[in-house]
Amino acid sequence: MAAYITRADLEPAYIQPNVLRKMLDEEETNGEKPGLLDAVFEAASRQVDAFLTRYAPPLAAPNAFVKRATVVLAGFELYRRKGMAEAPKNPFAEDRDRLLKELERIHAGELDMAGAALPEGKAFADVAPAVTHLSDGGMMF
């Protein structure tokens, strides 16, 4: 299965490039773990698909809601892997909770995918570096 998002959907709009590199450096060698980002994207896409069974996933042309849901789930997972599962350390946590409720309503047939709301509020890029990163780009944990 191909993921619904790519690195360009996440970086730099939601996570700054230097921060993303540190999140993908599991062995602290200043290098990204090969395949980790793709695995996170695919897992997030499968998680979205699990709620969209009535649409016969995987979707050939995901709409904005599906792409945004995948970005939020992938972003949440990247922060969670670094020990930051709760807001405010994880800037995706609150949007993840809202999106999972929307996805549950879609799965239950209470809401059509086209009628699902995108998260409101600040862009993640406005929040993440100030809340979870030092001024030099280092992680605060």
What string of DSSP letters covers the chain?
---S--HHHHTTTTS-HHHHHHHT-TTSSSSPPTTHHHHHHHHHHHHHHHH-GGG-SSPSS--HHHHHHHHHHHHHHHHHHTT--STTTSTTHHHHHHHHHHHHHHHTTSS-GGGPPPP-SS-HHHHHHHHHB-TTS-B--
Asked whether residue 139 is domain-assigned, the answer is no
**Count of domains observed in the chain:** 1
Domain presence at residue 140: no
The residue among 138 and 74 whose pLDDT is bigger is: 74
pLDDT tens readout for residues 89-128: 999 999 999 999 999 999 998 888 776 655 544 333 333 3
* 13 assigned to some structural domain: yes
Domain ranges, residue 41: 7-132
Residue 1 covered by a domain: no
- On whether residue 111 sits in a domain, the answer given is yes
Per-residue pLDDT at 27 exceeds 90:
no
Is residue 2, in this structure, part of any structural domain at all?
A: no
pLDDT at 41: 97
pLDDT for residue 65 is more than 50? yes
22 domain residue, yes or no: yes
